[in-house]
A = this chain, B = another copy of it.
Amino acid sequence: MNKIVRLNMSNKQIGISSNEEYKILGGRALTSRIIFDEVEPTCDPLGKFNKLVLAPGLLAGTAVSSAGRLSVGCKSPLTGGIKEANCGGVIGTALARNDVKAIIIEGLPNDDNCHVLEIDGENIKLAAHNELRHLGTYDTVARLYEIYGKDIAILCIGPAGERGMRAASIAATDPTGELKFAARGGVGAVMGSKGIKAVVVHDNRNRQIDYHSKNEFMEVARRINKELLSDPKTGVAYKKNGTAGIVLAVNAMGALPTKNFRYGSFEYAENLSGDVMHETITKRGGCGKTGIPCMAGCVIQCSNIYPDENGQKIVSTLQYETIALLGSNLGFDNLDSVAKLNRMCDDIGLDTIEMGATLGVAIEAGLAEFGDEKGCMKLLEEIRQDTVLGKVLGNGAEITGKVLGISRVPAAKGQGFPGYDPRALKGNGVLYATSPMGADHTAGNAFGSRNEVDPLGRDKQGELSNNLQKKMTTLDSLGFCIFARGPLFKDPSTMSSMINFLLGVNISANDVWDIGINTLKIEREFNLKAGISPAQDKLPEFCYVEPLPPTNSVFDLTPEEMSKAIL
């Protein structure tokens, strides 16, 4: 993977270059480095000086399981800081096979055309496809398959992204054409500001990636894949219940977002559990299915298709964060409602986490009731129709709270909380407040460490988050899904070996963590230059003063305790 494709939307020029300095950087390490190197930190995130950078993980396209994720980087219109959001699907691998290390989209178009960037080996083209304007992601993908054939990986936005809404996500196709999302931080709005509706990458299986030492690489990869398969979690549990498997555990901790973060547990949590989800999918049959890989070659296979009572697909994939934010947080006692709202968000191109937080605030303001499926669907429809209310909601929880006059807004650094109330999982409170990414569980979720560090205590939360942020940033850079972390964290030399065997370099196991550490450092430096000072490393006021039932915990870490999270 060597090519850096640069598309300037101001003059529609496409250039190709390479940069030896970026050799061992991929995924988040590369998107953040390019943003750091090229983007003025105080620029308008939706203006001509911001850039959208797409970079497959460093190990994307290789034979190791779960490493094909694509990182999307930019200055975020939601947080005002640097952002990386990554997704599964086939585009990471497809870009790697096309020898593309990164795509940099810069400038602003002078026209209002709806553009598709097409990549097919050396053949890289930009074309106007105005028939795609304001199409939902489902229709967009269907239409692109018609135009370009089925052997493509697609990245696209829905109407929310085209309209520059700050809750807009970017959709990516998986091996069966279902959608995965680089959801957070308003990355879809930045893609929309560039006039890019979709990126289409021809996935030519004849183009295999080059390994420096293929056999040696394969040996490590096989070992990791085998370990993942033999672990009860990654080999069995995730196939069955996916990420929804943790609903009851989070509920038991009292950290499940419930009714706009008023409560930490939900009386109907059982109905939203992984077991119930699996049972429902199995019982209903039809196109319902669990144990689907979102990336080719992934052995974990945590994806699913959730069907309605007639076996027709509602959405793929129903996941924990969505169940927490669009489910318990909105007072829904059943997965069907969650799945329907999930589908609408996906189709409009909206982050389900941000929208769950936003709808919670809207309900708090009286615009719907908790558990009111029609009311919530009507609010999402306002976004699709681009009404004034829709424009408010589509810009996320914080702006919605300001406009509607609501003070309990679950957001840090402008971004809505994911599915863990920080008062009952304080390591995540530290994460939301200190991560350069704002409130984002993927940047270092403390849930998995709940047995090592007391989630309700103040001890070691900063140190825990420091360690998790470092490790996750490295995974994000190599292209790994968090679920693959078992064998990788157990023996970090697996990661350095694969990098060495792939690229012919010679880095140590410690150097692998340095990828994460260095990335976090430049991300934080970018944010400081953007005006996000350490004084903003805080949670919203209600977290400090409103006890959260049933633990009645408040967030009480001092700035000094939190600062230990910062690398």
A interface vs B, CB < 8 Å? 41-44, 46-49, 163-164, 166, 388-389, 391-392, 395, 399, 402-405, 407, 528-533, 535-536, 538, 540-541, 545
Contacts and interface: CB of A to CB of B under 8 A. Distances in A.
B403 A47 contact: no
A370 to B, nearest CB: 20
What is the predominant secondary structure among interface residues of chain A facing chain B? loop
Contacts of A42: 535-536, 538
B395 A164 contact: no
B538 A528 contact: no
A426 B400 CA distance: 35
Nearest to A164: B405
Contact of A403 (B49, B395, B529): B395
B44 A540 contact: yes
A538 B530 CA distance: 10
The 6 closest A-B CB pairs, nearest first, are A533-B533, A531-B535, A531-B536, A44-B541, A388-B389, A164-B405
A197 to B, nearest CB: 17
B541 A533 contact: no
A254 to B, nearest CB: 24
A41 B535 contact: yes
A42 B535 CA distance: 7
Contact of A404 (B48, B391, B535): B391
B541 A530 contact: no
Contacts of A163: 405
B407 A402 contact: no
Contacts of A43: 541
A166 B535 contact: no
Contacts of A46: 407
A405 B395 CA distance: 10
Contact of A399 (B48, B49, B403, B545): B403
Nearest to A44: B541
A380 to B, nearest CB: 15
A535 B541 contact: no
A538 B42 CA distance: 8
Contact of A44 (B389, B391, B392, B407): B407
Given A42-B536, A44-B541, A395-B402, 16 more contacts: A42-B538, A43-B541, A44-B540, A46-B407, A388-B392, A388-B403, A391-B405, A392-B403, A399-B402, A528-B533, A528-B535, A531-B532, A531-B535, A531-B536, A531-B538, A532-B533
Contact of A535 (B388, B392, B530): B530
A49 B541 contact: yes
